[in-house]
């Protein structure tokens, strides 16, 4: 048995042993796809185990994230810091070997995957970042950015809509440094793929703009190697279908029963088939040597050569190098200076467009765009449209691909060196929630801009009027949700969002105009603050966000005329306000009993601070904005009347 075969079987058996010990996990892919993964790392990927964040490394995304034990086994054998004890603690509390790969938990994992299809979308984002950064920073004889992105996917990934959107985008943009490896084993959890899936991959992905390659035998590493080498020479993205056998070598080979279950007592039969006569977790030195002689030596040489090249680059192009290093650190110049004088009346989506234009001037690595909604969202990048002919263009035409858009900007931000944002209508955040959730889980600073934030969308009707979306996003851990009340708050919110480096942000903006009111202080950076102090003895505190702040101020003035002291508290970021010291929160909010929250949304999250919530508990209607505000009680007079009723 040659060292390459030893390494493949060691990868298989370590994965099987870990799954058996955990009594949980997905054995099938680990046995069938191991030759593909070992070949990829041994002979193609450049990745430095001592500098796992090297900016010019090749990226690998295990989109079929349930194959994590196979990846963990390889990372152990290749010296990325995982120990045998880590493998033994697969899926256990506090371990570095979670049930699916987690970025930041395990060195060598480039993206958290598991929700099928999302990994393909993030891989496309990696490829966009490489293309854009190469065009922006590379000089003649200085290919600072020159690497590939590989993704390993399965049947399930390709049945998800997000993957199809992302692959369509990749083909359209000719992302030739993207190589998809398809573990094509004709089996999924519920049975043969033919029960649910009968597409001709070759015709389909060629029509999408990919070069297609087929490897008839997933154990033929020479054929896999030849296909990858051919793909690396293409001027298109590549799709390599590798025909494998799920559960290869086990008594359950070719059956759906081995998809997500340990082998247990059948492990001995597998060992006999593979010619493996070792105890659990016992690895021959030849497996380690194989990766040392291939991946480690090749990557060390590439890493050393790149560092020497970069040193010369920095000396010859110091300004570009300084800009690049700042971008890689995630630092943005957020010194936006705009006239937001009292009385200015404009929709916060309009303000946002101005802010993004100013940020783009100050930050050459800021890139983003909208899902065919730029004229409405105003979320647009600079320097023209990103395309094969204009790779330095910073406006990405995502098309009507909200699902993929979220995953792609996550991939761009994960890559490093570029900072990406997206734009969509708020109601369609439902399409993007899986990507938003993964961004929050990974701590990726993606900025999701959502406009048309309430029933004030008006005539488009309830299908386009978000009601429950605010509460849904606010419930997500590690996601800051901003809803500014006017242009001045919008500037503060965008600054805060883009300064974040370890968490994503959602910025929720209006279609209708909002007026910059006189306020008693500015405190958006603390999440919430006293916007208008009471003029008489305090009777009620009105909490509001976004467009409802204007309404709350007008209602408070009506109450003051009747001798009722009314305070207005603006809370553009409830999550940040929650994190403030109790002393500060008590200084802003009085007794819960006299506090009323108002928001054109379901608003259950406000009950922690308010005894009464005046929100919306039904869907909207198709009608002009002003008519809907009257119908749902979001005029100053209606709000004042409702407040008097609940505090009576």
Separation CA 108–CA 81 (nearest Å)? 9
Q: Which residues contact 318 (CB under 8 A, 6 or more apart)?
A: none
Residue 363 CA, chain-centre distance (Å), reads 21
Confirm if 224 and 32 have CB atoms less than 8 A apart: no
Alpha-carbon Rg for the chain, nearest whole angstrom, is 27
Q: How far apart are CA 132 and CA 418, in angstroms?
A: 8
| Angle ∠(296,297,299) on CA atoms, nearest 5 | 65
Alpha-carbon gap, residue 250 to 273, rounded angstroms: 7
**Locus of tokens 């690049």:** 324
On whether the CB atoms of residues 543 and 610 are closer than 8 A, the answer is yes
Q: 95 vs 98, 99, 370, 449, CA distance in Å?
A: 7, 10, 38, 35
Q: What would the DSSP string read from start to end of 304-341?
A: HHHHHHHHHHHHH-HHHHHHHHHHHTT-----------
* Rounded Cα distance, 570 and 557, in Å: 15
CA distance 427 to 470: 10
> How far apart, in whole angstroms, are the C-alpha atoms of residue 477 and residue 112?
16
Whole-angstrom CA distances from 191 to 64, 155, 194, 504, 614 are 17, 12, 8, 38, 50
Q: 319: buried, middle or exposed (CB in 10 Å: 19+, 13-18, 0-12)? A: exposed
Neighbours of 337 (CB within 10 A): 7
The 10 Å Cβ neighbour count of residue 264 is 11
Element housing 167 (H / E): helix 161-172
| DSSP state string for 447-512 | EEEEES-SGGG-TT-GGG--SSHHHHHHTSTT-EEE--SSHHHHHHHHHHHHH-SSS-EEEE--SS
Catalytic residue among 346, 402, 517, 605: 402
Burial class for 357, CB neighbours closer than 10 Å (0-12, 13-18, 19+): middle
Which residue from 27, 95, 101, 35 is spatially nearest to 87, judged by alpha carbons?
A: 95
Separation of alpha carbons 143 and 24, rounded Å: 44
Q: Is 292 buried (19+), middle (13-18) or exposed (0-12) by CB count in 10 A?
A: middle
Question: What is the crossing angle of helices 267-274 and 3-22, to 10°?
Answer: 180
Separation CA 209–CA 586 (nearest Å):
59
**CA distances to 435, 563, 646 from 557, in Å:** 42, 10, 18
282: phi then psi, degrees, rounded to nearest 5: -95, 120
For the chain, the farthest-separated pair of C-alpha atoms sits apart, in whole angstroms, at 91
Hey, what are 524's tokens?
């958006």
The answer to whether the beta carbons of residues 471 and 608 sit under 8 Å apart is no
* Residue 206 a catalytic site member: no
Beta strand 612-614 with 595-598 is: parallel
Give the residue numbers marked as catalytic. 402
């Amino acid at each position: 048995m040659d060292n390459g075969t030893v390494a493949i079987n060691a990868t298989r058996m370590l994965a099987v042993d870990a799954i058996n010990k955990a009594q949980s996990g997905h054995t099938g892919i680990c046995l069938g796809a191991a030759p593909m993964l070992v070949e990829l790392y041994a002979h193609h990927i450049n990745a430095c185990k001592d500098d796992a964040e090297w900016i010019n490394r090749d990226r690998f995304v295990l989109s079929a994230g349930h194959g994590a034990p196979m990846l963990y086994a390889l990372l152990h054998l290749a010296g990325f810091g995982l120990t045998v004890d880590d493998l033994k603690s697969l899926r256990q509390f506090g371990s570095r070997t979670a049930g699916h790969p987690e970025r930041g938990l395990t060195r060598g994992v480039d993206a958290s995957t598991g929700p099928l299809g999302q990994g393909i979308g993030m891989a496309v984002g990696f490829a966009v970042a490489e293309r854009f950064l190469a065009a922006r920073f590379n000089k003649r004889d200085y290919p600072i950015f020159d690497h590939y992105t590989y993704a390993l996917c399965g049947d399930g990934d390709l049945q998800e809509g997000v993957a199809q959107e992302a692959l369509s985008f990749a083909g359209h943009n000719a992302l030739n440094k993207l190589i998809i490896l398809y573990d094509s084993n004709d089996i999924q959890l519920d049975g043969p793929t033919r029960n649910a899936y009968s597409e001709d991959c070759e015709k389909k992905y060629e029509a999408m703009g990919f070069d297609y390659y087929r490897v008839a035998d997933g154990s033929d590493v020479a054929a896999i190697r030849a296909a990858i080498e051919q793909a690396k020479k293409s001027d298109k993205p590549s799709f390599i279908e590798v025909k494998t056998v799920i559960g290869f070598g086990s008594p359950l080979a070719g059956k759906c029963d081995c998809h997500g279950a340990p082998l247990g007592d059948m492990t001995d039969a597998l060992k006999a088939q593979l010619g493996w006569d070792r105890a659990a977790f016992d690895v021959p030195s030849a497996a380690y040597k194989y990766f040392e002689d291939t991946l480690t030596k090749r990557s060390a040489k590439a890493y050393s050569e790149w560092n020497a090249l970069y040193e010369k680059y920095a000396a010859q192009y110091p300004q570009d190098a300084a800009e690049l290093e700042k971008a890689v650190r995630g630092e943005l110049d957020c010194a936006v200076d705009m006239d937001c004088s009292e009385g200015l009346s404009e929709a916060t989506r309009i303000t946002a467009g101005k802010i993004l234009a100013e940020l783009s001037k100050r930050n050459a690595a800021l890139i983003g765009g909208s899902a065919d909604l730029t004229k409405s969202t105003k979320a647009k990048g600079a320097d023209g449209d990103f395309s094969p002919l204009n790779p330095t263009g910073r406006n990405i035409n995502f098309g009507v691909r909200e699902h993929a858009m979220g995953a792609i900007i996550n991939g761009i931000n994960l890559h490093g060196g570029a900072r990406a944002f997206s734009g969509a209508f708020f109601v369609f955040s439902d399409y993007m929630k899986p990507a938003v959730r993964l961004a929050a889980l990974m701590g990726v600073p993606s900025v999701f801009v959502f406009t048309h934030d309430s029933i004030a969308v008006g005539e488009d009707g309830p299908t386009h009027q978000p009601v429950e979306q605010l509460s849904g996003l606010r419930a997500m851990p590690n996601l800051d949700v901003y809803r500014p009340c006017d242009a001045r708050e919008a500037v503060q919110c965008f600054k805060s969002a883009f300064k974040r480096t370890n968490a994503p942000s959602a910025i929720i903006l209006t279609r209708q105009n909002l007026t910059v009111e006189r306020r008693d202080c500015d405190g958006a950076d603390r999440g919430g603050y006293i916007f208008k102090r009471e003029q008489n003895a305090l009777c009620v505190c009105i909490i509001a966000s976004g467009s409802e702040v204007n309404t709350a101020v007008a209602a408070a003035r009506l109450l003051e005329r009747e001798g009722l002291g009314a305070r207005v508290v603006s809370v553009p970021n409830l999550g940040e306000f929650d994190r403030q010291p109790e002393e500060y929160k008590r200084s802003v909010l009085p007794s819960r009993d006299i506090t009323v929250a108002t928001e054109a949304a379901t608003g259950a999250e406000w009950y922690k601070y308010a005894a009464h919530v005046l929100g919306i508990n039904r869907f909207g209607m198709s009608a002009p904005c002003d008519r809907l505000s009257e119908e749902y009680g979001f005029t100053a007079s209606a709000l004042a009347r409702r407040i008097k009723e609940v505090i009576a």
